Amino acid sequence: MNRLQKVAAASATLLVIAAGLAAQRPAAAFQEAVYTGPAPYGVNQLPQYQTWLGSTGVWGEDFEPHSNWGDIENSQWLYGPWGTWEKNNPSGNLLLGVPLIPSDGSTLAAGATGAYNSHFTTMCSNMQAAGLTRAILRIGWEMNLGYTVWNAAQDQSHWVPAFQQAANTVHAYNSAHGTSYKVCWNPSNGWGQQATDQDWNGLSSQYVDYIGDDVYDDYPHGGNGSQNEYANTSSSTYQPTAAQQASAWTDYQDNYGLSYYTGLSQSTGIPLIIPEWGVWGVNESRPAGGDDPSFIQNMYNWFKANNIAIECYFDVYASDGDHDLWPGSNGSTVSEFPQSKAKYLSLFTNGGNPVSTNYLANSGFETGNLNNWNMWVGSNGSAGYASNYAGDAHTGTYGFTTWSSSAYELTLYQQVTVPNGSHTVSAWVRSSGGQTACQMLVRYYNGGSSITSVNFPTTNTWTKISTTVNVTSGTLEVSFYNKSSANQWANVDDVVVN
């Protein structure tokens, strides 16, 4: 190809990691947190979890015991490790589940009189003494579910007054001692045992610093709709369909679901957080969504659209269901949710500002050859090659060039394995124009014969072309087909599948 032809050249691909990586890390879309188990194990897991996730500054979560007041107010096994963690992580914070009453015969009626206030004061004092001077206290969390000792349905008239007593005690301790313990009012998503607004009546920002909502991809968190959608999944390995999962997501927003908590946060001005959320395995204790990357995507979209302050993924295999995504510090845990795991990593890396993942190898041809790519040749295969001629690369040194002094027909292609879901395929290109065909093709993404094509523009200026496809087969192929007469040319660089 002569210099005049090179100056006219064009064709390439990208959006890529280079574009996604900024000179400095962008501000987090929301504060990330995770529960990987109780202290000290959960504390020790955090550095490895952050490495796996590719995010720094991830907060932690833990739970007070609930057998008696002595255990609640003197959990040194918990306070000490988290106090040390706080010292080493000055911008970190802990979400802490705190029983409103323990299972020792204590009652909501007594709590409503202030009979247990001294226990909350002692708890705060012991936390401070251990170096744990800040935490978000989820006092009486999931009170709208029947499994809790402090559930509101057993004594509705006394639940809110008991909560008010505890919240006032914590805030008074802060004022007297300079600590920063915040109070979170934290039901579970969905109807539960009763309408959740009964658990809110009488509360306000005087008592509540955060509104919390626990959300899982299972029946109790979505009301009757998701029960019907997921009815077959509690006693078999049946995996719900995408349509069932989409319908369940609609249920999660209604019937005292996500929309209720969004509205409550907006009307009160109290920040909304998600202290627990996760996928839920099939063949567990209840109807559930199983490996559901759409749930991960929907939650992420909802976090960003509603300015969620904090989200905390419940990354454990709990007694009533599996939510595990990460492989653990020793890398031995195999998640039963591979598609959800891939989606979670793609979205929550980098503080909720995901860096694009490119599934292609040698996507910018910087190896100086066509390694990892394949070539189909109709005629004159020498017309396609990796070139470092001036102007043939959009970025870096090399790009893919097609040109010959005689006619040619060829296709450069690469097939990759990708998670099911939406993927954008892009490339930077330029072209002389005039070809019989000069286009980017995407195929094999739905297990059938569907082909999505994008024609190269006729231009000497590098131009990005792109298309988005919904992958259902776990694979796709991106290719560049060129059928040209003599001296017609095209350039491609920075190809991306993300």
> Over the stretch 102-152, which tens digit does the pLDDT of each residue have?
999 999 999 999 999 999 999 999 999 999 999 999 999 999 998 899 999
Q: Is residue 354 part of a domain?
A: no
Q: Is residue 456 part of a domain?
A: yes
Same domain, 98 and 138: yes
| C-alpha pair distances (Å), 250 with each of 254, 266, 322, 372 | 7, 20, 22, 42
Check residues 57 and 71 and name the one with the higher pLDDT. Answer: 71
Q: What sign results for the dihedral spanned by CA atoms 278, 279, 284, 286?
A: positive
Q: How many CA atoms lie within 13 A of 454 on its CB side?
A: 22
Q: Is the peptide bond before 40 cis (omega within 30 degrees of 0)?
A: yes
Paired sense of beta strands 321-322 and 437-443, if any: unpaired
User: What per-residue confidence (pLDDT) applies to 379?
Assistant: 95
Question: pTM to 2 decimals?
Answer: 0.68
* φ, ψ for residue 390, nearest 5 deg: -55, 125
The whole-number average pLDDT for the span 309-326 is 92
The residue range of the domain holding 103 is: 22-348
Same domain, 108 and 208: yes
The whole-number average pLDDT for the span 246-267 is 90
Paired sense of beta strands 399-402 and 490-497, if any: antiparallel
Single-letter residue type at 409: E
Q: Is residue 472 part of a domain?
A: yes
The whole-number average pLDDT for the span 222-228 is 51
Residue corresponding to tokens 């929907």 = 298
Same domain, 428 and 321: no
User: What per-residue confidence (pLDDT) applies to 408?
Assistant: 96
Same domain, 195 and 315: yes
Q: Is residue 417 part of a domain?
A: yes
Same domain, 301 and 396: no
Nearest to 387 by CA among 396, 398, 395, 372: 398
276 a catalytic residue:
yes
User: What per-residue confidence (pLDDT) applies to 26?
Assistant: 38
| C-alpha pair distances (Å), 470 with each of 267, 325, 445 | 38, 23, 7
The CATH number for 84's domain is 3.20.20.80
Q: What is the distance between the alpha carbons of residues 50 and 45, in angstroms, rounded to a whole number?
A: 9
Domain boundary among 348, 375, 402: 348
- Distance from chain centroid for Cα 383: 44
Same domain, 11 and 136: no
Domain boundary among 348, 382, 402: 348
Same domain, 201 and 113: yes
User: What per-residue confidence (pLDDT) applies to 15?
Assistant: 25
Domain boundary among 290, 324, 348: 348
Exactly one of 276, 284, 336, 409 is catalytic; name it: 276
Does residue 30 contact residue 352 with C-beta atoms inside 8 Å? yes
Report the chain's mean pLDDT, rounded to a whole number: 88
pLDDT of residue 202 exceeding 90: yes
Exactly one of 61, 142, 311, 336 is catalytic; name it: 142
Same domain, 11 and 85: no
Check residues 132 and 243 and name the one with the higher pLDDT. Answer: 132
User: What per-residue confidence (pLDDT) applies to 276?
Assistant: 98
Check residues 65 and 227 and name the one with the higher pLDDT. Answer: 65
Q: Is residue 353 part of a domain?
A: no
Same domain, 405 and 310: no
Same domain, 194 and 130: yes
- Distance from chain centroid for Cα 443: 28
Q: How many CA atoms lie within 13 A of 211 on its CB side?
A: 25
pLDDT in tens, 270-283: 999 999 999 998 87
The whole-number average pLDDT for the span 410-425 is 88
Same domain, 391 and 322: no
User: What per-residue confidence (pLDDT) applies to 206?
Assistant: 96
Same domain, 367 and 344: no
Name the pLDDT band for 229 (thresholds 50, 70, 90).
low
pLDDT of residue 27 exceeding 60: no
73 a catalytic residue:
no
The CATH number for 427's domain is 2.60.120.260
- Helices 258-268 and 242-253: crossing angle, nearest 10°? 30
Name the pLDDT band for 442 (thresholds 50, 70, 90).
very high
Q: Is residue 303 part of a domain?
A: yes
Count of the separate structural domains present in the chain: 2
The whole-number average pLDDT for the span 423-440 is 94
CA dihedral 238, 244, 246, 247 (to 10 degrees): -140
Q: Is residue 239 part of a domain?
A: yes
